[in-house]
Structure 1
């Protein structure tokens, strides 16, 4: 059985794409990757690079279809709505191919405001009308799966493959202790946030909450920033003489792991402006839990479900109250995290997904007949 995985992400950086590729390799010893980027490890896979290695969407679609024609895969795994046009082509011209569609996002209510977003609407059109023809659909959490079944008129609920990420990168503790001694060298209550500086990521609400708590609390922000929002952010800090909020920019994953271990709590927050954000699938939440660090989240349903069901953090839009709750009941949250993470079969999650997909493939008589022929 030959499997082709088609993805329009930089697979060297995008964790979910890497996991789906590993799943494909588990399913078959003849795996073909089609993307504009190559993974660092190309062992046991054939790589077809689109657009001469450049991020070019139209060349990606054209060359993906060409790859299907030349390779004749038995199974094609498509990743996100970038590949929806390929899904439509397969349904029309290669009905014998078993289609697995992995959806890590939920862009069903975005409105185009630019040419780039107009292209996104084009992708959404294909996804809306052809996703029901995929043999298997995978979603990033339960909530998104339920919405997708109704919206796309799927025959059954998608398989859930959560964005459960753990950082295994090593770091030099002595070196980072020196580098970040100003941030972690005292007994203040330390809060780390990896969402950068952006109003859409609720970093202003977090800033105001920490400021209102007083001088015994420190906020450390990592990640992306919006230039306009950063200017406003800095102005607020200057006008209010705030000294214990620190933006450290982009940092390697190993340093983010260090910060999670050194911090008292971390934050995962999303606005509620789109369904994709409302029903977020946060990998950073799990990164924190695997380091034993309690989590403060906004009240988005998937985040609230995890906090409430397992007692590993507080889901509250009033960040000040949430921080105080975590601080006052800190040991309980840490104990709950230890109990919860022990129940997660992290090492086996990819093989478990592969086993589920294999069963679906094996239970499709028309597909197995075409393989034997």
Structure 2
């Protein structure tokens, strides 16, 4: 059975999708991938594995709201044209809902497809309405967190619970091409005890209280490092003014960012409660931290307290409380080996290859 995997953007933006492709390849499945503009690292990775893959011509960065609409329509034309040409007896595996929404839904409904849902959408949004329309038509619906699966089953009146595959990235060898500037910054940090935040820098994942906590601890050996897309260009300087031992590394595409992850001592995973998607967050970063045995400081979201918190791999704190953050950091530092051992145990508790294999069994492959 051939699988055609479709994802609108480059795979560096969606580690769970890259993960699925690589494990399907490991399991001997014939996989052909259509994707947006990949990093050179990922294109090289797919080429080395001899995975046939193609880049969508219409994938480009939007400049404004109007440009987003133009991009959507241009991409939609390209993928709908492609749909007519795809092998009819192949199963389509769609990497995320945004990709599915650009496709011809009537044509999609007439063939077998797997729909991978990476987010939990607010009700009555355009995404929620589309998913309600298509969820029952998919051969299999995949999501990345058990509470999300239960909500989706109830909301979309699904006969079966969506299959849960956590966002644990593929454990491949790290081969990086980090810039000289970043390497220079890293070399200056090696003697520090690094507290790391990785991911997009947005208001729903506030970092101010972290630097305030570090300022309160007042130990110059503690360094706060963060990396990821940050649209507010003044924000890194603002954080550095609060706590001088702060370093922003910019955006480093996955999985190359793991070169930084392995150097840290504590990893941050913090989310507010502004959306259900945040409340039942499913961050791949908890597996990236735990891969290297790094303890974590996380917010109190149930999907964090029930995973890394329950394993003893993290201190789960109120990220609005500077004192709690400071106490959490100090507690981890004082009992580091215990947290590190628990992080390793958590990482090895999830067998991704087995989970993907179970998906194939459900599809009778």
TM-score, normalized by the shorter chain, greater than 0.5:
yes
Measured against aligned partners, the alpha-carbon deviations of 1:230-271 in whole angstroms (never above 9, x if no partner) come to: 1xx634653x5x322222323466874344333321111122
Report SS of the residue matched to 2:262.
helix
Partner SS for 1:8: coil
Provide the TM-score with structure 1 as the length reference: 0.78
Q: Tell me the residue number matched to 1:104.
A: 118
Count matched residues: 339
How do 1:1-373 residues align onto structure 2 when only pairs under 5 Å count?
1-25=1-25, 30-37=30-37, 40=43, 41-42=46-47, 45-47=51-53, 49-51=55-57, 54=60, 56-70=71-85, 71-85=87-101, 86=103, 88-90=105-107, 92=109, 94=110, 97-109=111-123, 121=126, 123-165=127-169, 166=171, 168-170=173-175, 179-186=185-192, 189-195=193-199, 197-216=201-220, 217-227=222-232, 230=235, 234-235=237-238, 237-238=240-241, 242-251=243-252, 256-317=257-318, 318-345=324-351, 349-350=352-353, 352-362=354-364
Which of the pair has more CA radius of gyration?
1
Which is worse superposed, 352-361 or 295-304?
A: 352-361
Larger helix proportion of the pair: 1
Gaps of 5+ in 1: 112-120, 364-373
* TM-score under structure 2 length normalisation: 0.80
Query: Could you list the per-position Cα deviations for residues 183-224 of structure 1 after superposition, in whole angstroms to 9, with x for gaps in the alignment?
Result: 2325xx431222364432221121211111113432122222
Q: For residue 64 of structure 2, what is the aligned residue in structure 1? A: none
Q: Is the 8 A contact 1:279 1:302 kept in 2?
A: yes
1:128: Cα distance to partner? Answer: 1.8
Question: Shift of residue 126 of structure 1?
Answer: 1.9
> SS state of the match for residue 262, structure 1?
coil
Given that 1:199 and 1:229 are in contact with CA atoms closer than 8 Å, whether structure 2 keeps it comes out as no
For 2:51 and 2:183, the matched residues in 1 are separated by: 40
Deviation at 1:339, TM superposition (A): 3.0
Tell me, in whole angstroms, the C-alpha distance in 2 between the residues paired with 1:46 and 1:338: 34
User: Are residues 209 and 137 of structure 1, via their aligned partners in 2, closer, same or farther at CA, if it must alter by over 3 Å?
Assistant: same
Task: Describe the superposition over 1:281-306 as per-residue Cα deviations: whole angstroms up to 9, x where unpaired.
Answer: 11111111111110111111111111
Give per-residue Cα distances to partners, 1:38-86, cap 9 Å, x unaligned. Answer: 6612565554544455574334333433333332133111222223343
Unmatched 5+ stretches in structure 2? 62-70, 319-323
**TM-aligned CA distance change 1:247 to 1:50, over 3 Å:** closer
| Contact 2:4 2:31 (C-alpha < 8 Å) held by counterparts | yes
